[in-house]
Chains A and B, each alone.
Chain A
């Protein structure tokens, strides 16, 4: 397996625009996690899914953020409208068997909102 695949790797957008980040988890994994990493706040869990169902979205910072997982092989994180403070590296990770199981991270998407 190629591992967790995220796209795009880099995204630069203007404030107010909609941004969609994409993630393909490892085949067979039943948990998917979205994280955000900044220098100020470190690594934060935003939301996670089990079998395509959102389990906990308490880490999602605002209603401008939304995440979907329409099937077992694809998830999106959308920010609408985007703001400069959303600039960060966004990681997707997947695991099999539980939230405490070994999670495999993607390479991340570096988002810059200007």
Chain B
């Protein structure tokens, strides 16, 4: 059975304090790994899709990396507006199945 585990469940950072969120997965036939951001009361907002091990993508203060077993979302010098829940999801081609992790709630304080 496909499994996606995100850690930590919650993370509190001070503004400017860089850190990383982890998404580990056990799936067969990975076709893509997604990162989304979700603010309270809103739908998820797409951040990145990673397709193969070794791939990296960046957007502003965020950088996503992918290995054969996990993905990291690195947040450099975060700001309060980066506070949100970050969701990881994997798409497996065998059954065209999308499996989400439970998310990491990030809070960035002044």
Asked whether, in the complex, the Cβ of B98 is within 8 Å of the Cβ of A45, the reply is: yes
Asked whether, in the complex, the Cβ of B43 is within 8 Å of the Cβ of A107, the reply is: yes
Q: Closest residue of chain A to B49, judged by CB?
A: A100
**Assembly CA distance A84 to B45 (angstroms):** 28
Asked whether, in the complex, the Cβ of B97 is within 8 Å of the Cβ of A91, the reply is: no
In the complex with contacts A99-B91, A105-B43, A42-B102 CB distance below 8 A: yes
**Assembly CA distance A108 to B42 (angstroms):** 7
* 77-107 of chain A: CB within 8 A of chain B: 91, 93, 99-107
Asked whether, in the complex, the Cβ of B100 is within 8 Å of the Cβ of A105, the reply is: no
Contact of B43 among A59, A91, A101, A102 (CB under 8 A): A91
Asked whether, in the complex, the Cβ of A55 is within 8 Å of the Cβ of B49, the reply is: no
Q: What B residues does A58 contact at CB under 8 A?
A: 95, 97
Chain B residues touching A, range: 20 to 34
Q: What A residues does B49 contact at CB under 8 A?
A: 100-102
Q: Closest residue of chain A to B89, judged by CB?
A: A43
A-B contact pairs, 20 of them (CB 8 A): A42-B100, A42-B102, A43-B44, A45-B97, A45-B100, A56-B96, A56-B97, A58-B95, A58-B97, A59-B97, A91-B43, A99-B91, A99-B96, A99-B98, A100-B31, A103-B46, A104-B46, A105-B42, A108-B42, A108-B43
Q: Measuring CB to CB, which residues of chain A are less than 8 angstroms from any residue of chain B? A: 4, 42-45, 55-56, 58-59, 91, 93, 99-108
* Shortest 9 CB-CB contacts between residues of A and residues of B: A105-B43, A100-B32, A43-B100, A45-B98, A102-B46, A56-B96, A42-B102, A91-B43, A105-B44
